[in-house]
Amino acid sequence: MGHLIHATRRDACLKALNTVLILCGFGALGIFVTLVGWHVPAQWHSVLGTASRVVIAVFVFQELCRILLQTRPLEYVRTHKLECLLAVVAALETFLGGALYEWLGGLNVGLSPRAFTLLYLAFSQLTLLILLVLRGLRNNQILSNRYLAPGAVFMLSFALLILVGTLLLKTPRATPAGIAWTDAFFTATSAACVTGLTTLDTATAFTRHGQWVILGLAQLGGLGVMTFTYFFAYFFAGGVSLRNRIALRDLLSEDTLGQVGSVLGTIVGFTFVCEALGAMAIYGFLEAGPDSAMGALLAKVGVAVGGTETIPAGERPFFAIFHAVMAFCSAGFSTLSGNLADGAVANNGGVLLVILLLVIAGGIGFPVVQNCWQAAGAAFRRRLGFPFAHPPRISTNTSLVLATTLVLFVGGTLIFHISEFVVGDRNSGPHSPWFVSAFYAVAARTSGFTLTSDMLFTPATSIIVMFLMFIGGSPSSTAGGIKTTTLGVAVLSLRHVITGRRDIEAFGRRLNDSIAHRALATILLAIGFLLLVTMSLCLLHPELPVADLAFEAVSATSTAGMSRGITPRLGEPAKAILVIAMFLGRVGVLTCFVALVSRREGPGYRLPEGTIVIN
């Protein structure tokens, strides 16, 4: 009986500590947002410093109480080593951080004492927020609720990201003179859904701080909030529960439960490696000129390097990082008012080529990258003589993605070249017409980057561009659209009907009929939703050309980001419709229906077969 009373008191104390933990989280978040989003006057430094130390002291105290309440304290510390380490760091920041930053301030490193104070306060609260997030991942009842479909969790994560992004973009430090709530909401949605449509000029309407916020939204939105959440939970917070791992397997479309950690590592690692290499390459091409070795090499294939205008040296590192992330995540934002048509980069084919390669890498799909990496590694080890029971092979999904991507790239390049440079007699500028055609064949499907105004497209080219935007990238990538595999399965299903084959076949494998049904449902829902968005825009703005409104609707629904320049001219109701289109386009219309519509088990019998006349 005494043991039960002790356990009851212990549980009551832990619940009280959880309440204290939540209060610490709100306090740390409030302090951090205040420091990040507002210009803090000097007289408020001492107040914020005191509040910061109080929040951290309360947190450290509750953490010590939590350890003492454990029946096995050492085991608790071992399984929560990262959280305990961060708690120690937070405590050291509280007692020694002020002296450390005062010492750093006297080293004449270019930061004022005020900047050091703000940096210290912000960093200490950020440490506490990271710790609280890791703690929350251990007991994420919402994420592990078996009654909440993975698609619903995916949608909620994006909605939360958009909400936070909107609030951050409304803070005084994000813009020079403030923006309307509608513009902040639209920009946050466009960045989080990696679309690239803008109602304001990113270069002038936002400060560097605001541009960092947009970059963060695109990074999280490109990979998905849940991917980052589970990544940190899996590798840094002591793992995830079996129920969470099953949800994560469904979210990543992974067949094997044991491969979840490997897939997470591949996704995050491949992303940051590509973005880092891309940023360094962009920076290098900004520094290089036409007379460099790389410039001479690119000139041989019709790609110019360098021009009369350049980006200031101090802005090049951020420019390189920003555009590398935007290219890989298929976001399409640019810190230049004219996007990539700006004279600072329009003549620099090296930068454009790097962006083109990053867009391809981000839109190819992480399952394809994982499969190719495993197959290449197996082939390499086989050459070294290591035995394999069942060596990895190129999967049917990878083969279909690569084949469809290649057909769209070659076909799009060829048609764009004929429509614009043969029939349309367009001037390609300093670059080869084939390079410009190839750039648009890739950018139209996912990224939204432009080399010139889209108003200059011929009608035939506009139709091709809308088709490419509608298709988009590949599954489990940063791109939108109905996806390349959907198109591929639809074409294979059409071949199956025309040729009268018994099964739908691809690359020596038979595809289940349910895959064709899902592809058909995706296409029908996407077309229906696209028509609804286009009709709504036409009703709200009958004064604008239908072709421009249809182009805008396809771009938003497919999260492609290209525009014919009418986005800033739309009213608030039309912007709200585009926000909904971007959100549903990112999470998927079919995913939305599956998550929201309750699914019922079928009866234990089958109805008699009927006949319907098709043609």
Indicate whether 367 belongs to any domain: no
* Average confidence (pLDDT) over 303-325: 77
According to DSSP, residue 510 is labeled: E
Indicate whether 571 belongs to any domain: no
What is the length of the chain? 615
Number of H helices and number of E strands within the chain?
25, 2
Q: Mean pLDDT highest for which of 244-258, 364-378, 459-473, 597-611?
A: 459-473
pLDDT tens-digit map of 421-446? 888 777 766 778 888 889 999 988 88
Residue 578 φ/ψ, nearest 5 degrees: -65, -35
pLDDT band per the 50, 70, 90 thresholds, residue 259: low
Indicate whether 125 belongs to any domain: yes
SS (H, E, C) 290-341: CCCHHHHHHHCCCCCCCCCCCCCHHHHHHHHHHHHHHHHCCCCCCCCCCHHH
Instruction: Say how many domains are in the chain.
Output: 1
pLDDT band per the 50, 70, 90 thresholds, residue 61: confident
β-partners of residue 506 are 509
Element (H, E) at 546: helix 546-557
pLDDT, residue 235, reads: 47
Indicate whether 212 belongs to any domain: no
Residue percentage of the chain with pLDDT more than 70: 73
Residue 4 φ/ψ, nearest 5 degrees: -65, -40
pLDDT band per the 50, 70, 90 thresholds, residue 128: low
503 has pLDDT over 60: yes
Indicate whether 112 belongs to any domain: yes
Close Cβ partners of 489 (under 8 Å, ≥ 6 residues apart): 400, 504, 511, 515, 516, 519
pLDDT, residue 557, reads: 92
CA distances from 452 to 340, 390, 415, 456 (A): 8, 50, 18, 8
Residue 506 φ/ψ, nearest 5 degrees: -155, 120
pLDDT, residue 10, reads: 75
Of 138-152, 327-341, 509-523, 583-597, where does mean pLDDT reach its minimum?
Answer: 138-152
Close Cβ partners of 407 (under 8 Å, ≥ 6 residues apart): none
One-letter amino acid of 131: L
The pTM of this model reads 0.81
DSSP secondary structure letters along 391-408: -----HHHHHHHHHHHHH
Indicate whether 345 belongs to any domain: no
Indicate whether 338 belongs to any domain: no
pLDDT, residue 552, reads: 92
Is the Cβ–Cβ distance between 414 and 328 less than 8 Å?
Answer: no
pLDDT, residue 289, reads: 55
pLDDT tens-digit map of 563-592? 888 888 899 999 999 999 999 888 888 777
pLDDT: which is higher, 567 or 223? 567
pLDDT, residue 239, reads: 47
pLDDT, residue 540, reads: 93
User: In 3D, which of 64, 2, 54 has the Cα closest to residue 27?
Assistant: 54
pLDDT tens-digit map of 139-192? 555 444 545 555 666 777 788 888 888 988 998 888 898 888 999 999 999 998
Is the Cβ–Cβ distance between 260 and 254 less than 8 Å?
Answer: yes
Indicate whether 502 belongs to any domain: no
> Range of 99's domain?
1-139
